Amino acid sequence: MSASDKLASAGDEELSESQSMPLLPRVSEEKRYCGLTMHGVAWMVPLIYSALGIMLLMFVEGWPLLTSLYVMTQVVTTVGYGDFTVQSSICKVYLAFYAVIVLTLFAYYINLCWESIASQNSEVLRRYMRSIEGTRDAGLTDDELREKYGAFNHLMSALLVFTLTLATSTVFFRFVEHCSCSYGLQSVAGCEDSDFATCSATGGYVKGWVESFYMSAITMTTVGFGDFQARTHVGRIFAIIWMPIGVAVTANLVGAFAACFFEERQANFLSARDAVDHIAFATFRKIDRDGTGLLTRGEFLSYMLLKYGGVSEDLINEINNEYDKIDVNKTNQVSYDMVQRRQKSLRLSRAKMRS
């Protein structure tokens, strides 16, 4: 291979490499702190802070481990029944900082984790629904079916997971805590829970079907009035696991509902615009900025971005005006030297403004 051929080959490789590069730089790799990425730090901080909070509640407030963990779970899920409140100043200050600093990070990752689990569990239903839709829309590919029905399927699966979670907690509290005398700070003096009749007659905490459903719904939506809470050891262990799951699946349902109806509205909006299957001559002349009677790729791209709401007309005009300032010869062709001259002009302008 001659020297000129090698040079041409190297030039082609360089051009190919430059064309494969993104127009805008990608986000750089995450920085590491003591071997941990930012995501790792974001996980470690709330976990350590929560563990310290549990220890503080145990030793300063004198609460048992289960109660301390139960209260910290209420805080991180924003339920806040109010059945246990701290009395010492140090715990009040600690929980105030905990709520402000850690709550956002911890709640975000808990929701993200349980959304992923809920999504995986509901995939069976979504595949079944897609199979039904496939028989009705024969000829459509999986991607086309997903685009057509994906948002609705997500809503249905999210609704199913939410309903199952709500039903599970309702049944659990109805049978496990139908009546309880509770224990510790919330124990009812003189209460006997040998059977339901005795427990309710001696002042025990009663949960029927309505109360169990009410408590479950109020908890999962993070309202947490506090008139009904978990009262037994088993109930609080269940609540520690159930509260994060319930909050996550509720958030997933709200997001799926919004996405479904927003996408449907957006699809109707785009379909209405696509109904105009030709461009009027007046519109064509407006798109044809250079007045040649022919649309360049850039002019057509600008129109399509504007048509589908990608950018505003003001932004399109600003971009074209900037291009005109670079294309000083009005040839509709810009070289890198012309770009450099424009950069130099901008730097001089900024320098004059600063002086």
Encode the chain (355 residues) as per-residue pLDDT tens digits.
Answer: 555 555 455 555 554 555 555 555 554 555 554 555 555 666 677 788 889 999 999 999 999 999 999 988 888 787 888 888 888 999 898 888 887 777 666 656 655 665 565 555 555 455 555 555 445 555 555 555 555 566 777 788 889 999 999 999 999 999 999 999 999 888 999 999 889 999 999 999 999 999 999 999 999 988 887 888 999 999 999 999 999 889 888 888 888 887 777 665 555 555 555 545 557 777 788 888 878 888 888 888 887 777 766 677 888 888 888 888 888 888 888 888 888 988 888 888 888 888 7
Question: Which pTM value belongs to this model?
Answer: 0.62
Closest CA to 69 of 223, 240, 264: 240
Largest CA distance in the chain: 103
Query: Residues with Cβ < 8 Å from 130, sequence gap 6 or more?
Result: 142, 145, 146, 149, 153
Domain chopping of the chain, boundaries: 33-274, 281-342
Residue 110 and residue 244 in contact, taking contact as beta carbons nearer than 8 Å = yes
Q: Per CATH, the architecture of 33-274 is what?
A: Orthogonal Bundle (1.10)
Q: What is the pLDDT of residue 275?
A: 45
Distances in whole angstroms, Cα of residue 31 to Cα of each of 11, 27, 38, 175: 35, 11, 7, 51
Q: What is the pLDDT of residue 304?
A: 76
Residue 58 and residue 68 in contact, taking contact as beta carbons nearer than 8 Å = yes
In eight-state DSSP terms, residue 310 is S
